[in-house]
Structure 1
Amino acid sequence: MGADRDGGGRRRPVRAAAYGVCGVVLLAGCASMPDSGDVSGVDSTPRQDTQVRVFAMPPPENAQATDIVSGFLEALTSDDPNYSTARQYLTKAASQAWKPGLSSTVLADGPGIDLNRLGDREGSEGVSFTLTGAKVARVDGQQAYTPAHGAYNEPVHLSRDKKTKQWRIDTLPQGVVMGKSDFQRNYMAVNKYYFATAATTASKPAAVADPVYVRRRVDPMTQMVRSLLNGPTHWLDPVVRTSFPSGTELQKGVTTLTPDDQNKLTVPLNANAARVGARKCGEMAAQLLFTLQTLTPAVDGIQLRSGRTQLCSLAEERANDVASRGSAEHPDYVYFLDNKSRLVRLSPAANSTKPDPVPGAMGEGARQLRSAAVSRHEDMAAGVSSDGKNLYVASLASGSSLGDPVLVSHGKTEDDRLTAPSWDANGDLWVADRNPDKPRLLLLDQGKGEPVEVKTPELDGRIQDVRVAADGVRIALVVAKGDKTSLLIGRIERRQESEETSPTVSVLELRSAAPELEDVTTMSWAGDARLVVAGREQGGLQTMRYVQVDGSTPEGPAPAALSGIKEITSTESDGLPMVAYSEDGIVRLPSGAQWQKVTDGQAPVYPG
């Protein structure tokens, strides 16, 4: 807080008194303030230890109207599961009408409190305020995060109870509102998992991460199970399915879930789940296990029950036999182009600095390449010629030939031709043609045949880079428009209108994954719902950071800084080093270390 008002007095921060008792923090909304004067505000509570529980104090006797508003706002940042203390600042009617779970609005700082007027409203004494601030994000009723911009201005009205003579809020916005630091202390990002509905050649379904935000210290395990059972968020819903039968809920009377001393969690479900088959039950357990393991490592087994009947159980070591998941895949090699423009490879787990050419034509240097991609099974490779004009596909087997290009761009310059390609989990190849006369996003079924033009009805700009997620239903695009280059995430939808027609492929509902960057240099998937991105912030600062697909910033440190970065690659799985092409050539970032020079080369890629 502390920003000046144009033509008015300086904003005066209001902080509720805080009392620490045995690790429990009590937020008291009792700072004394007048009912008139300039703008006031409620500062965000300083970032605290995540293990400290924070509870609010009820309104003090004879508190002034501004104290009631500031106390209520402080109570919204507490760990009160049902906001029962916050409701004490409201009239009975307002409490009944208020739905705090409808949304959470995140502001850059704690909400400011502008006094509007004193006087009567409909014959009763009242005070009117406006809550103000700069919006950063919104978490909706499905717990989905969306970046937000612009001013926040919402009215709050108080009236004095005729009997008690105490001020209480009778009109307020739905949902909750708080500053960014309070949001980071109160909420945590967790992935819940569903399965891709797109047809696949794999023998098991592909798990898709659906990130949501839950209250950190309000029984997050039970919150996540309920959220998973409620279904996917609206953005992801068209391309995923759940294995839980319709209407499946926790068994009546179950209020909390806790793993036993063997780290197994028993989840009692209602009768809707009682008749599932073994395969479906295994998938249900896998959804739960994948979901809860992003929350805590304390769960390594799931047991499902309905009534007194045990439905099935699933141990951690068997989960990846039920469903594939990008973060569980471990590629054999990292690939790049050497100084002869050949495709070479290194084992990412070793400290070797001497790469080997890949088997077949791509490693023989039959064509000079400027970018390449290797299929997720590491049996096929695609390469773009040094002039950006031709796309070649070849097997990574000894004796394989390159053949004719599978795609030719007619752009007039190298920068107006093909982007680096990307393979999806189904073995299909994606690439963008940047020809200004005919810019297109293209898909080649199994890397061959006539390219399918992917529909991108919401695309505003020209695609500079393409990376498909391991789940096959999300795609990351670097898109240039004017002097700004943005990172966008789209949903891949495939529709088969009839047996006679070819399937239609579309990328829909593009959304920004790095709203704070105005010039994205390079990016790569670095988790089931996370990417690593390098670019320039507003103001010209170069940075490298992790971002979530929903546009939020995950917890934890950013990657070590790297100067002169041009290209970067990572894997969805943990434990393998990030690899980049910088002014020093090919470099890698082992876990817990600094960037290390590997060798000369360019265009590094992990499979995908």
Structure 2
Amino acid sequence: MGAERIGRGRPLRACLVLATCGTLLAGCASMPDEGNLKKVDASQRPDSQSQVRVYAMPPAENARAVDIVQGFLEALTSDDPDFAIARKYLTKEASATWEPEHSTTVLADGPNTVADNLGNDSGGGRTYSLTGRQVATVNKQHAYVPDERAYAETVHLSQQNGPNGRVWRIDRLPKGVVLGESDFERNYEAVNKYYFAAPGAGGRDSGPKALVADPIYVRQRIDPLTETVKSLIDGPTHWLGPVVTSRFNSSTALAPDAGSLTPDDKNKLVVPLAERVGQVDRQRCTEMAAQLLFTLQDLASSGVEQVELQRESGSQLCVLGKDQAETVASPRSANRPSYQYYVDEKRRLVRMPGNAGSNAKPEPVSGPFGHPEQELRSVAVSRNEVRAAGVSHDGRRLYTASLVGGTLGGPGVRSRAKTPDQGLSTPSWDGRGDLWVADRDPGDRRLLWLGQGKGEPVRVRVSGLDGHIEAIRVSADGVRIALLVKKGGKTSLRIGRVERTVGKDERPEISVVEPREAAPQMEEVTAMSWAGPSRLVVVGRESGGVQQMRYVQCDGSARAGATLPGLTGVKEIAASEDETQPLLAHSDDGIVRLPSGGQWQTVGKDGTGPVYPG
């Protein structure tokens, strides 16, 4: 007997009602008794996905077992608070133990369902296999984790007593939610939570404290504001946790009767905290409020401009507005660069005004890098734009120099590489003012760190890296580093966590740990740059594809967004972490610039190494 199959194209087994732009669209797919069925997935729904609400329908009377499975899977893709409709496809016992918040499994397409046997099993039940190609999971902390593998789970159904006779219901099923990638992109929204850089990991002792973005995903039409606040209070994701701190301690929680949080007509959000929050002094309270404000600015729908923290009793703890928050905390990526830089045809460092609308011609910088005293191959400019680090044209020496005058001292790092391509990488400054560079010499590959860009370089320990480093970029917060890693002729993008400790003789010990893939969709990545607190722009290609540029999140997710205009032969890319600034690139057309909403503009026919500060 042939298996009952719903192939790659699973149908709408339950009625779904779609509401968009004030119009209701309703329909049910017909249910043929046999033969292959075609799926109607999110890509076939109305185009304006962000304005679409999908409502699941409960099981139809006398629904077949296969209809129950399909109805349940479709209900998982709907805007169903607490998955109340999805639970109607389960037995009471299964509904009581099912944990949709446990995880969300994202498949390349919606799951294929196949009946293991068209007949009933010995207990009168029926089992269906759920299969597909898994691309990621979103765990209980709302963190996106790329995880490509074959997906294979089962659901089991039994017949239960209903009001009008026996009905099929699911009594065993996987933990969590499973859905296709297109449904995930429609249903879930990326949000950056913000935590403070831990002392020694990027924090500073005076002035606004440095914040670090921790990306998560929440259901974008199911009270995302409240869910984001809860996630922030619960603490950072496991991967980022070792290098950040939160002013919300482990005993802090929303008040039990907080309900759904909504800002008032003056865009003030009141956040009531459970009494176990304990003693909270004013500094800690304002820092908690700052974390909330910066986090909610990243949630497009929140509109929050002021936060008031209260005790469960209603007494006020503190109030903080957007204008005050920046005196308490600041994402380092918020700093706006004054200039854009590159190495011109004379091997000098030149700069252009950072104003995206400026047409000023590039001019040499002040100081030794602006003169042909030492021909340069690549450069990095400190984030305060006072100093620069440059690699010599032969790739074997790293120098640092002032951008306001002075002379060029001896090299801070030397490589024994035989060719420039095997020598020192383009250096990178972190938000603390420390300098990083990779030596790609096959005889002694190493990642080096120079405190404040000077002194004896420290060799950085890198764990769990499968391949060797070709290029680096340190994030503005200083706790993450992007690495282009080459193995077997292919190059991938990895994000590592930067951990700092103090060793013998008070000498710093620096480690890069748990490097994780950040562009799993691409078979080859050839260039990258940080382009925001948790976003990068990458140049590469998918399997069998042509070169393309796209944005990716540092957690490995790639949200649909504006397509970057095509550009031929891109060799290097540079983006500001201030997302209003134009992209820079080194391509077959020379040094080019892409203003927001515009087209690529040629800045110079000859030149290499375009960079922003960092």
Q: TM-score, normalised by structure 2?
A: 0.93
Residue 459 (structure 1) aligned to one of 447, 460, 465: 465
Query: 2:353 touches 2:360 (CA, 8 Å); kept in 1?
Result: no
Rate the CA distance shift 1:38–1:277 in 2: closer, same or farther, 3 A: same
What corresponds to 1:185 in structure 2?
Answer: 186
Map Cα deviations across residues 231-259 of structure 1 (whole Å, 9 max, x no partner). Answer: 11111011111011331111120111111
Aligned-residue Cα RMSD (Å) equals 2.2
- Contact 1:422 1:466 survives alignment (8 Å): yes
Corresponding letter in the other structure for 1:517: M
Kindly state the Cα deviation for residue 10 of structure 1 after the two structures are TM-superposed: 6.8
CA distance in 1, matches of 2:274, 2:500: 34
Q: Which residue does 2:11 correspond to in 1?
A: 14
Q: CA deviation at 1:154?
A: 0.7
| Contact 2:383/2:431, CA 8 A, preserved across alignment | yes
| Counterpart contact for 1:376–1:425, Cα < 8 Å | yes
Letter in 1 for 2:125: G
Name which of 253, 256, 260 aligns with 1:249: 253
Task: Note the alpha carbon deviations across 1:413-438, whole angstroms, 9 max, x for none.
Answer: 21111000000111110000001111
Q: Secondary structure of 1:50's match?
A: helix
Q: What is residue 483 of structure 1 aligned with on the other side?
A: 489
Find out whether 1:510 has 2:507 as its counterpart.
no
Contact 2:18 2:52 in 1 (8 A): no
Q: How far apart, in 2, do the equivalents of 1:40 and 1:102 lie?
A: 30
Q: Which residue of the other structure, out of 351, 355, 362, is the alignment partner of 1:345?
A: 351
Give the whole-Å Cα distance in 2 for the aligned partners of 1:32 and 1:250: 46
Contact 2:17 2:55 in 1 (8 A): no
Which secondary structure state, in structure 2, belongs to the residue aligned with residue 150 of structure 1? strand
Asked whether the 8 Å contact 1:488–1:511 carries over to 2, the reply is yes
* 1:524-535 mapped onto 2 (5 Å cutoff): 524-535=529-540
In 1, the alpha carbon distance for the partners of 2:36 and 2:113 equals 6
1:339 Cα deviation after fit: 1.5
- State the AA in 1 paired with 2:183: D
Partners of 1:585 and 1:267 in 2: CA distance: 52
Correspondence 1:326 to 2:327: no
2:369 is aligned to 362
Inter-CA distance 218–301: structure 2 relative to 1 (3 Å threshold): same
Partner of 2:568, secondary structure, is coil
Cα 1:463/1:118, change in 2 over 3 Å: same
- Of residues 585, 593, 605 in structure 2, which corresponds to 1:588? 593
Q: CA deviation at 1:30?
A: 7.7
What are structure 1's unaligned runs of at least 5 residues?
A: none
Q: How does 1:103-252 map to 2 (within 5 A)?
A: 103-119=103-119, 121=121, 124-162=123-161, 164-199=165-200, 200-201=203-204, 203=206, 204-252=208-256
CA distance in 2, matches of 1:551, 1:223: 22
For residue 99 of structure 1, report the CA deviation from its aligned partner. Answer: 0.6
Deviation of 1:26 (Å): 8.3
Q: CA shift at 1:50, angstroms?
A: 2.1
Tell me the CA shift for residue 514 of structure 1: 0.9
Query: Structure 1, residues 172-228: CA drift from partner, whole Å, max 9, x if none?
Result: 111011111111111111111111114244623211111111001000000000000
Aligned equivalents of 1:173, 1:33: Cα separation in 2: 27
Describe the shift of the 1:187–1:419 C-alpha distance in structure 2 as closer, same or farther (beyond 3 A).
same
In structure 1, distance between residues paired with 2:309 and 2:100: 31
1:436-471 C-alpha deviation (Å, 9 max, x unpaired): 111001101111111111111211112111100000
SS in 2 for 1:308: coil
Question: In 1, distance between residues paired with 2:476 and 2:8?
Answer: 49
Q: Distance in 1 between matches of 2:362 and 2:308?
A: 46
Instruction: Give the Cα separation in 1 of the matches to 2:116 and 2:28.
Output: 21
Counterpart selection for 1:389 from 373, 381, 396: 396
User: 1:33 touches 1:66 (CA, 8 Å); kept in 2?
Assistant: no
For residues 400 and 344 of structure 2, the distance between their equivalents in structure 1, rounded to whole angstroms, comes to 18
Aligned in 2, Cα 1:139/1:39: closer, same or farther, shift over 3 Å?
farther
Residue 507 of structure 2 aligns to a residue in which SS? coil
Would you say 1:373 and 2:373 are equivalent positions? Answer: no
**Deviation string for 1:538-562 (max 9, x for gaps)?**
1031100000001111342132221
Counterpart residue number, 2:31 = 32
Moved more, 74-83 or 219-228: 74-83
Equivalent residue runs for 1:554-573 within 5 Å = 554-573=559-578
Amino acid at match of 1:236: L
Q: 1:536 to 1:555 in 2, by over 3 A?
A: closer
Q: Secondary structure at the match of 1:446?
A: helix
**Gap change, CA 1:38 and 1:103, over 3 Å in 2:** farther
User: How far, CA to CA, are the matches of 2:126 and 2:488 in structure 1?
Assistant: 48
Q: Distance in 2 between matches of 1:605 and 1:484?
A: 24
The Cα shift of 1:43 comes to 4.1
Q: Report the 3-state secondary structure (helix = DSSP H, G, I; strand = E; otherwise coil) of the residue aligned with 1:575.
A: coil
Stretch moving more, 170-179 or 343-352? 343-352
Matches of 1:201 and 1:449 in 2, distance apart?
A: 21
> Partners in 2 of 1:344 and 1:272 — Cα distance?
57
Instruction: Give the drift of 1:9.
Output: 10
| SS of residue paired to 2:533 | coil
Task: Name the CA shift for 1:432/1:27 in 2 (closer, same or farther; >3 Å).
Answer: farther
**Secondary structure at 1:93's aligned position in 2?**
helix
Cα 1:24–1:202, aligned 2, differ >3 Å: closer, same or farther?
Answer: farther
Q: Which residue of 1 aligns with 2:310?
A: 305
Indicate the residue corresponding to 2:409 in structure 1.
Answer: 403
1:432: which partner in 2?
438
1:484–1:39 distance in 2 versus 1, CA, 3 Å: farther
**Aligned to 1:324, what secondary structure does the other structure show?**
strand
Which position in structure 1 is the counterpart of 2:56? 56
User: Which whole-Å deviations, capped at 9, do the CAs of 1:79-116 have from their partners, x for residues lacking one?
Assistant: 11111111111111111111111111111111111010
> Do 1:27 and 1:55's aligned partners in 2 also have CA atoms closer than 8 Å?
no
